[in-house]
Structure 1
Amino acid sequence: MDLTRYVTTFGQAMQRKHGEKVYKLSVNAEFSCPNRDGSRGIGGCTFCNVSSFSPATTRHGTVREQIEHGRERVGQLTGARKFLAYFQAYSNTYGELDRLKSLYDEALACDQVIGLAVGTRPDCVPDPVLDLLADYQQQGKEVWLELGLQSANDTTLATINRGHDFNAYRDAVSRAQARNLQLCTHLIIGLPGERGDDALDSFARVLELGVDSIKVHPLHIVKGTQIARQWKQGEITELSMEEYCDTVAEIVRRAPPELIFHRLHGSGTPDYLLAPQWCRSKWGVLGEIQKRLEG
């Protein structure tokens, strides 16, 4: 199986740029979220349980300790010598600027870390934070700002208690692009009330803004979430593997050649995943996507 015939993967893009493989090391810096602490809302997004996607190895220790542990583990498995510190859990630009700078600096001071990937929300990127990230980039660091949009449909965003609308995303993209920051947008396929055509519409609206890369994965129904309760009560239905693969294949067909794909699927943590069970089969899903592209 070789999807790189059809897409430019993040791994490919980094290898071309840096001359060797570059791996992300997940970091949990214990950030919160404005959709949890009351500043924008309470309860968080209806699909979110951070433990379902944040590796267990990132839940304890300082930023340096997490990176050193991850670097040793990944290095032994892959022989990698270059890494990005991936601030992944919750909203990793949501805090005082001095604290953000301290955490980012701690990560960048680690051996073999050549840059940052910072996951956050579109409504959590004030100009001073963007200036800080742009300054790292100007110093020669590899910097990626990953914005969780999930859907471009404002009705869907309200349904999942997202706490922002598409205009917030559009504004964040505009201000980040003004600083030449590299942008990755996250989209979820199969959100309540949505199906394939809705995801394709979201993808089209993202492309119109000229982002550098995207990350797509199916809706995971995981323990401890509002969506899990709705699913158990029969209020929402899970996405089928066939529809997911059809949608992703169409996204790939519509993508411009320069678009980078950070992810085409996500499997989640088995201990938390309730549905769809087919999400557990990463290579099976990717294989089905490739069959559609070859057909």
Structure 2
Amino acid sequence: MGLDQFVNTFGSVCKATYGSRIRKLTIDAKFTCPNRDGTLGVGGCTFCNVASFSAEEGSKLSISDQMTQGKARLVSTSGKYIAYFQAYTSTYDEYEYLKKKYDEAIADRDIVGLCVGTRPDCVPDNVLDLLVQYQSTGLDVWLELGLQTANDKTLKRINRGHGVSEYIDTVKRARSRGLKVCTHLILGLPGETDEDYQQTLDTVLRHGVDGLKLHPLHIVEGSVMAKAWRAGKIKLLEKESYAKSVAKLIRQTPKEIIFHRVTAYAKKPMLLAPDWCGFRWDGLVAIVDDLAVNGGQGSALSKASNS
């Protein structure tokens, strides 16, 4: 059994659209973040060390070279790819610089889509309009917003530097232009429970969303949380607990919403804990097992509507 049997996944949507799965080419365009450069702060979010998710050696290579290397590693059976600006805040720079970087990526003839990851407080109207222009050429464009949680107290605790209101505003402006929004959420943030996860999902669904990415909190070297974890001050989710919580949220999510990811994978030695996040399939298998027994995406909503 695979996740596609129970969840509307990004992979299955691409396969239906293009005839095969489409691979994402992760790009590090040397962007920074207002929570690191002094605009909001210098320490960054407490869970973050961008080296854990940025392209290997990416900052030393041009975008075109990164894409060439990415194609060599991630062979697509269709020969088509999505350019994914993931590292740091990929809408946080002067408009002309952003446009130059995006243009360089989509100039590759094998690119059929563009994903731009960013913070919800760093998305001005002119950048949204630029993404709309790309979309009008036929590119599959996604704006990925790192919300993490809809609990303002937690956002402050993890030094996020923005609140839920900024997220709501950006979603409204993006979706009113016809742009698709994928929201990132972290389960297991300090002090949060299943009730917080549900409240976050309810908030996201209420204000409109097209895709979701779910991640377990994991501790990476170089983060502020690494110090707290070493001091025994942070308790992390076990694989089974995470899988159960994720599966419950999936059942509460309407079937038209696309799940881009339902777990996370990180490499040692950058990954400190939990160990199960160091194995690509462990968390996913546990989630699928729960869905197979208790129902897949939207099943809780269907049950509620029929009762």
- TM > 0.5: yes
Q: Which residue of 1 aligns with 2:28?
A: 28
Deviation at 1:32? 0.3
Please state whether the residue corresponding to 2:68 is helix, strand or coil: helix
Please point out which of 77, 80, 85 is paired with 1:79.
Answer: 77
Aligned 8 A contact 2:19 2:78 in 1: no
Query: Unmatched 5+ residue regions in structure 2?
Result: 294-307
Q: CA deviation at 1:38?
A: 1.3
Q: Secondary structure, in 3 states, of the residue corresponding to 1:122?
A: coil
Asked if the contact 1:143/1:182 (under 8 Å) is kept, the reply is yes
Q: What is the CA distance between 1:57 and its match in structure 2?
A: 4.8
RMSD in angstroms over aligned alpha carbons? 1.2
Matches within 5 A, 1:145-294: 145-294=143-292
Segment of structure 1 superposing worse, 208-217 or 63-72: 63-72
What is the correspondence of 1:93-172 to structure 2 with a 5 Å cutoff? 93-172=91-170
Is this contact kept in 2: 1:200–1:247, CA < 8 A? no
Question: How far off is 1:66 after superposition?
Answer: 0.6
Cα deviation, residue 141, structure 1: 1.1
Partner of 2:8: 8
TM-score between the two structures when normalised by the length of structure 2: 0.92
Q: Which residue of 1 aligns with 2:69?
A: 69
Task: Give 3-state SS (helix, strand or coil) of 2:60's partner.
Answer: coil
Deviation at 1:5, TM superposition (A): 1.3
Alignment-mate amino acid for residue 240 of structure 1: E
Residue 42 of structure 1: aligned partner: 42
Structure 1 position 93, deviation (Å): 0.3
- Percent identical across equivalent pairs? 49
Following TM superposition, by how much is the alpha carbon of 1:21 offset from its aligned partner in structure 2, in angstroms? 2.1
- Moved runs in structure 1, 4+ residues, more than 6 A? none
Cα distance in 2 for residues equivalent to 1:6 and 1:63: 36
Deviation at residue 54 of structure 1 after TM alignment: 1.8
Partner deviation per Cα, 1:60-90 (whole Å, 9 max, x = no partner): 2111111122123322xx4341111100100
Of 66-75 and 145-154, deviating more is 66-75
**Match of residue 298 from structure 2:** none
Alpha-carbon separation, structure 2, partners of 1:62 and 1:68? 10
Rounded to whole Å, the distance in 2 between the matches of 1:115 and 1:267 is 23
**Partner Cα separation in structure 1 for residue 198 and residue 268 of structure 2:** 28
Question: What CA distance in whole angstroms lies between the structure 2 residues aligned with 1:26 and 1:144?
Answer: 14
State the SS of the aligned residue for 1:143.
Answer: strand
Per mean C-alpha deviation after superposition, the further-off stretch among 78-87 and 250-259 is 78-87
Q: 2 CA distance for matches of 1:80 and 1:61?
A: 25
Could you tell me how far apart the structure 2 residues matched to 1:87 and 1:149 are?
17
